[in-house]
Structure 1
């Protein structure tokens, strides 16, 4: 179960007792407050609190630039200008606090994004639940032969069944020993802070994660990308849907300029200009290394 009965009761109580406020609210985000979006087999993402909206981004920009923004006809145009020119501080005026339940190995990848505030469930004080991430068969894949950090072909048949059985049995055996080490029936029992070290990295943890919109966009640019690991990408995809409702103008600009756009090196830009003039440009006369050339060709030719 992604949410415990206690968490469900807390959410229902909060949603049943709305409070009046004078602060600006984003209607698209209000519908997400406290509602858990299920992710993977036992995980979830839910919005706990937020601050700001599209208007807050524009408000901050106009305070900063004054008359310099008077030529922008509307908020959407201003936001697109800010995104296009890599402005950051106006987007930092919006913040969101998320409650996330996720496998430990995903959390260790996620925590690399250091520009956020995090408070994680402590296995020093509490006992972790017997909940493990077990991939669906379609997400079991062999090691890629061309990418050292990626997946290759999907496992099938007996091989997939063998791997799934190992994952399940190892996780449950480790948890059995975790419980046994802490047992106080006729023995002292090992401290929780030591017993936890025997748990597998596919066990679920939880945390509160608070981040501003600028740094959240950076997270989404990397983790909602098709090349990101599936298990973190599905969390990023769930968060992206929330952000699209929260700040639709900013998210639209983000999709255009960051997710759907591309950054070109001086060499790549030179190649495009030469091609537009009718010159035949190859990797050999482009000045690019072979790998960079392949990436460039994939980008412009799809």
Structure 2
């Protein structure tokens, strides 16, 4: 993980000057303030600020439902009820602001989640650092034969070495040309906003990303999934650590009712009922497509 001296100095200064507050504090989240979780070869995730905790979720729910929640005996039970029945707005009362350093191609996947506030490092104003994501040997794999957007078998040692040489060589060459184009040594130099177009998608960028807990959990449900691309999944895994400490009741409910749960279609439910009634159900008489039947079988096998 690489942080600039200025970033580290800012963190050290903030950590050295704790302040008293009357606002709600999550003890689990406090330990994440002013520290960074390393991700990939040069990336990181760190918490800049946050608002709310498990109690804030319950507070919001009890305001919106009034006396209807009086039968709920504790906050954990209420949170599990809310999660189980898809009552999402109380979870929106918690927010977190993250500082993330990540490769550009990961950022372009990430930004598809359009329910956050984002401010990214400007390559029009500043010069990007010479830092590139170079995959570890074990992360290199061939195209999957069954999934058009996934990986298949790992590369042989010889093929992996060839690919790594290409990645490193292309990244270094592109950055050299980037520096040459914006150079001020005896030449006017190209504008930074134009010179940046020559940089590869594995160069690192940084942003501040602020999101409420409901939309963050939606992000994590998709990006911490085993089917997500490895490079974004490791960022999601790092954020999962943070959320588990920040709102432990909400996180446990999220694990049980979202991450560890499966969704069945109406056809799948009908087939399951037929199976429970003792009927032999096959792909041919299920009424499902071949792909949906495979997914159904996979869900039943766990």
With the length of structure 2 as denominator, give the TM-score of the two structures: 0.99
Q: How does 1:93-112 map to 2 (within 5 A)?
A: 93-112=93-112
Gaps of 5+ in 1: none
Q: How does 1:264-279 map to 2 (within 5 A)?
A: 264-279=264-279
Q: Secondary structure at the match of 2:197?
A: helix
2:113 aligned partner: 113
1:256 aligned partner: 256
Measured in 2, the distance between the counterparts of 1:210 and 1:199 equals 27
Q: How does 1:132-281 map to 2 (within 5 A)?
A: 132-281=132-281
2:39 aligned partner: 39
Measured in 2, the distance between the counterparts of 1:226 and 1:152 equals 14
* Post-superposition offset of 1:276: 0.8
Q: How does 1:20-59 map to 2 (within 5 A)?
A: 20-59=20-59
- 1:54-97 CA distance string (max 9 Å, x none): 00000000000011111111110100000001111000000000
Measured in 1, the distance between the counterparts of 2:196 and 2:238 equals 29
- 1:123-159 CA distance string (max 9 Å, x none): 0000000000000000011111111000011112211
- 1:209-234 CA distance string (max 9 Å, x none): 00000000000000000000000000
Measured in 2, the distance between the counterparts of 1:260 and 1:66 equals 31
Measured in 1, the distance between the counterparts of 2:36 and 2:48 equals 10
With the length of structure 1 as denominator, give the TM-score of the two structures: 0.99
Measured in 2, the distance between the counterparts of 1:174 and 1:108 equals 20
Greater mean deviation of Cα atoms: 70-79 or 112-121: 70-79
Greater mean deviation of Cα atoms: 266-275 or 112-121: 266-275
* Post-superposition offset of 1:51: 0.1
Measured in 1, the distance between the counterparts of 2:71 and 2:268 equals 32
Measured in 2, the distance between the counterparts of 1:51 and 1:61 equals 16
Q: Secondary structure at the match of 2:244?
A: helix
* Post-superposition offset of 1:266: 1.1
* Post-superposition offset of 1:264: 1.2
Q: Secondary structure at the match of 1:45?
A: strand
- 1:80-125 CA distance string (max 9 Å, x none): 0000011110000000000000000000000000000000000000
Question: Structure 1 residue runs of 4+, over 6 Å off?
Answer: none
How many residue pairs were aligned?
302
CA RMSD of aligned residues (A): 0.7
Greater mean deviation of Cα atoms: 148-157 or 238-247: 148-157
Gaps of 5+ in 2: none
Measured in 1, the distance between the counterparts of 2:196 and 2:280 equals 61
Q: Secondary structure at the match of 1:97?
A: strand
